[in-house]
Structure 1
């Protein structure tokens, strides 16, 4: 729901907090696929992950999903899910660019 107030000729938009966050960044769904040998494929859902999903072994299962606004945030959540400790990147400036900044909306 969007609430619009008109005050002195100006429009003020009041958005629910989660909608406001959407204005600031674009979250994208990520999928974790795993097979019986616990070999993982962690990729974007939808069209951006089609290439990766084509490489997934037969018998792999979708075991977890998350929403993230950057590669870095997605990997941080993946590391937390797998209890692997803190995720670090050799290219943090690149990996922390939001998907919105990359033009992926």
Structure 2
């Protein structure tokens, strides 16, 4: 079933909102990663065991990688929907 221009436009708007959220989440995730890396340095400087803290750094990096992949999928969907909205001929009067 073909989607109407209004439905495609709504899907595009929804995906654009998701893209904005993904960008925000990724930036916040990067900040959490930097914070954790700083904690590792502080713990190490104080002579603490840092294995668990380093494990969290690795998990945060893996999570960011997945978030970035998901963001790419959203971006591709936005591009596709933009093309669909642009290609949809206007309805006759």
TM-score over 0.5 for the pair: no
Q: So what's the TM-score if we normalise by structure 2?
A: 0.22
TM-score by length of 1: 0.21
Q: Which protein shows a greater Rg?
A: 2
- Structure (1 or 2) with the greater strand fraction: 1
